[in-house]
Amino acid sequence: MKKAAHTALPWLLLGLTGVSAGLLNGLLGAAGGILLVALLPRLTPPAALYPPAVPLGTYHERRDILATAMTVMLPVSAVSGVFYWFGGIRPDPTLLLLLVVPAAAGGLMGAKLLGKLPDRVLKKIFAALVVVAGVRMLF
């Protein structure tokens, strides 16, 4: 019997990528998601990202990578937030409320758009955001 494609994954590299993404997220915020989006296409074959979900021969790399990265970063961000709280770093509750509700609505809209936009457009949007953020941080 043939083994599933995901059994051949470089587990150590994926684990190190996960640790690095969590570390970056804890230090800098969403930078862990950026790392995942950059490295997942190089570390995982298509079948590992969505074994039963996508019929053989169809491969929507960018959408699947983005969805995987965001799904991973949700619990990582929650853990970071809990540790910030217990470490004495407490965000303003009013500011949280004013950001969380609209951000959740934006997340729903983005998830809907993700399935409609071509991969090449998603790649360009992501690259532009990374470049703009990088340039702003330099100055």
pLDDT digit string, tens, across residues 51-94:
555 544 444 566 777 888 888 888 888 888 898 889 999 888 89
| CA distance linking residue 77 with residue 94, whole number of Å | 19
Domains of the chain, residue spans: 5-138
| CA distance linking residue 32 with residue 76, whole number of Å | 9
Identify the residue whose tokens are 């169809």: 58
| CA distance linking residue 133 with residue 139, whole number of Å | 10
Indicate if the pLDDT at residue 97 is higher than 60: yes
What is the reported pLDDT for 2?
Answer: 47
For 136, the token pair is 């702003």
| Cα separation values, 46 from 49, 61, 131, Å | 6, 7, 27
The structure's pTM equals 0.65
